[in-house]
Structure 1
Amino acid sequence: MEIWIIFMKMVLLVYIAIQCAQANPSHISWVVLAFLVYFCTNISLYLFKNNTFKRILHVLPIGISTVAYHYVNPMFCLLLPLSIMELASGFIEKKITILLLSLLPILYLNESVQPEYGLVAFLSYLIFSITSIYGEKLVKNEAQIDSMRKQLQKLTKHINENTEYIRQSEYTFKLEERNRISQEIHDKIGHSMTGALFQMEAAKRLMETNQQKASELLQNAINISKEGIENIRLTLKNMKPPTEQVGIHRLKLLIDDFNAKQQIKTVLTHEGNLDIIEPIHWKIIHENVTEALTNAMKYSHATQVSVDLKVLNKVIRAEVKDNGAGTDMIKKGLGILGMEERTASVNGKMIVDSTHGFSVTTLLPLGS
């Protein structure tokens, strides 16, 4: 805003200088003095940041222009509109009122300069209004940027705190889980094994003196050991997650990791009974999807990839499809050949299509 006002003042000073030189060259020294005083006063306005002091300084250009109008050259009155607008803008918000105030001196000017003064006042008002509007928008945008920057810093801080909290929670959960498993083994298995050991020690001592009693103690030890083994089996079974949960969660982690590292948006969908998918099937699906995503990242120039897993009546269908350019001729490199070999190892089939984008479909027979 200030740059445009300074530019307008410089244009007016050049115009006034030309008019003064043509009208009365003998007074050129007074004209130069008036210019220098006016110029220095206006420059000093932008050196101070105190609003009260700046408003006081705004009065000086008005006084200089008025004195120069009366004693040097009437054309100096053309400097009044901008000075009045700058001063009035600090007290008055309505721009039409500021315009009327800048036009007020026209009532006291010579008729010869009134048309030029009116034109300069309207042009000054136009430039002043435009610069004021854009200046307010600029200040508002800067305030919004500062606010967004502060919010971003807060969000970054919260993310870091949440990440640390998640890390600590995971560590605490692992410790608690280890403690639970240790306690469960101690309570259910440790007591059984200790009891069986006591029974066998007692049977050893009675082996020569009372074989019947020793035989009973050994049988008790065998029963206790069987019960302990069964407890071990049940404990491990309860701790071990279902196969389908491991498989689908591992696949989701793969997709999430791919989304985090790449700009390609990847979506996972699944349908059907995942419980019947065997571990060997999950292994092949996971490796084929990994290879297909890698190929999509390297060659497809795609913006989106879909991973669709369906469990049908007799077959498992896993498709990875992108929206890239595709290719007219499919060249089977080591990646595709490796996928085909893995799929064929369980009597499955793999289909590669590049008609619309590029898709790799893995078909695995159930019960293979």
Structure 2
Amino acid sequence: MKELHLEELNKAHQELQEAHAELQEATMHSMKYAALEERIRLAREIHDGLGHQLTSLIVQLQALEIMLPGEPKKASETITQLLQIARQAMGEVRVAVREWSSDEMGLGLVALKGLVSQIQGRSSIKFNFIQESEISEWPHETSIVLYRTVQESLTNILRHSNATSVTIHLKEVNNEIILNVSDNGSYVEEKPLKAGFGLKGMMERCRLHGGTCTFTSVKPHGLCIEITLPIDALGSTNLRT
């Protein structure tokens, strides 16, 4: 009976390991898809914004050519406007290049932003993503933990919070990732927070990775979820700004 019981336990453990591996692989696919969507969104914004600015630049340069001989003062004012447009266009290019080049695998920052964009697209809630420091190139396991905890946080907000705005703050301090997801929903401090399966799963996932997941109230109402995770020094290189 003991041998049979041990065999059943080993079989259940193997099945659990296989299920975990499948879940990790599915998460990786989800992250890559989110990163791809974020890159497409950036490309669309560049095409629309930069294309409009360059068109305006060309039109005004053509006008400037005609203006120079007879209206030098007005031409000088136009040059100032053209320089401003050119600087705005260059700023957009720099942002896009930084986003695309900093996360080659699409498993870190770009995937998180893509996840937020996806949820924003199917919700009336206003999302604001704030990056407060340079961000490292995270190891895959760290990226997966962050992605899944943020995904669960935002899903929980959509289902239960009645929030109209959500702010995601991300920074790295002393070789540690600190990510806050705060909303202006209906939760108040006086009401006890019932940690269901999703919230408990977030806390356990962070704990197993050497981090923490805590919940605090937001004044006058709302909930803040703070996720802290250590950065693997061997797997991270400061790249993103």
TM-score under structure 1 length normalisation: 0.33
Structure with greater strand percent: 2
TM-score under structure 2 length normalisation: 0.50
Structure with greater helix percent: 1
- Structure having the higher Rg: 1
